[in-house]
Amino acid sequence: MINFAEVSGITIENLGEHGLKALRISNTFCDALIALQGAQILEFNVKYQSYTQALLWLSELNSYQPAKAIRGGIPLCFPWFGGHAEEKSYPSHGFARNLEWALVDVVDIQESGHQLIFELTDNALTRAYWDVAFRLQMQIECGTQLRLSLSLVNLDEKQIHYGFAWHSYFPVKIDEAAVYGLQGKAFIDQLDQHRHKIQHEEAIHFSEEIDRIYPLTQGSFQLRANHRTTLLINSHAQSAVIWNPWIEKTARLADLKPESWREFVCVESGQIASQQQYLEAGQSVEYTLEISAV
């Protein structure tokens, strides 16, 4: 059990009328908010001398109900992305974002900020959807940049396969936003009968709904959020998803305001839609995601 009285800069908050547990982080470098459900970072604001810069977007209409996905921040889609390939009744994007994780360690390092480690292991609920013994850990480092490390350990006696994505929401002015780093890459157009295409343009601009899966990338992207701010997004994961719901789809999503499509873009990092990810018994794998502003 973590004794928060011994760690400076962290307080416990209850979100919404259901009292969903979250941790408020404050240090020299940033302010952040992390929900125990999904080990999901909801807010991350970098501190500069005279102002703060928000690196994540969070919907104002979240109800923060237990076991209900939270719109915004960085939800973790695991152990699959999108709908389940075989069982249509299974939760979209897996179960990891809908379960409460255990906080197993937290450190306040004066020179660099806070480091927190969350853990999720198999139980009766996870085995109902994914009959695997596993340990999943998320290390979140809150300093001058946001750094996430996801490690998966196969505790089973058999080979397992999985997919995942950090479903990152970033704040933008949509008419100024552009995503760089995907020129020449193949993608699956989710809005055009899942056709496979090549991106020839240097940058993605937003003038309509977009939903693209890039199976293989270099894992390094630049998001021009507005005329002043560019976000740098770097990951060891190979896949990416670019998404903005635009006007009509936003209207169908109850946890988004009608004008929300103007305010965010999702640039997601993960392992999806490429070769199947396998992990042998007793083996482990780790992925990282780093986000900073320039």
Active-site residue list: 167, 268
**Spatial distance between the Cα atoms of 3 and 87, rounded to a whole number of angstroms:** 41
Peptide bond into 79 cis (omega under 30): yes
CA distance 156 to 132: 6
Residue 6 vs residues 29, 119, 267: alpha-carbon distances, Å: 20, 21, 36
| The dihedral formed by the CA atoms of 39, 16, 241 and 178, expressed in degrees to the nearest 10 | -120
Count of beta carbons in the 10 Å neighbourhood of residue 15: 18
- The Cα-based distances of 237 to 98, 163, 213, 220, 288 in angstroms read 22, 11, 13, 10, 7
- Structure token pair of residue 210: 């977009």
Tokens of 103: 């906080």
Cross-strand pairs, 72: 58
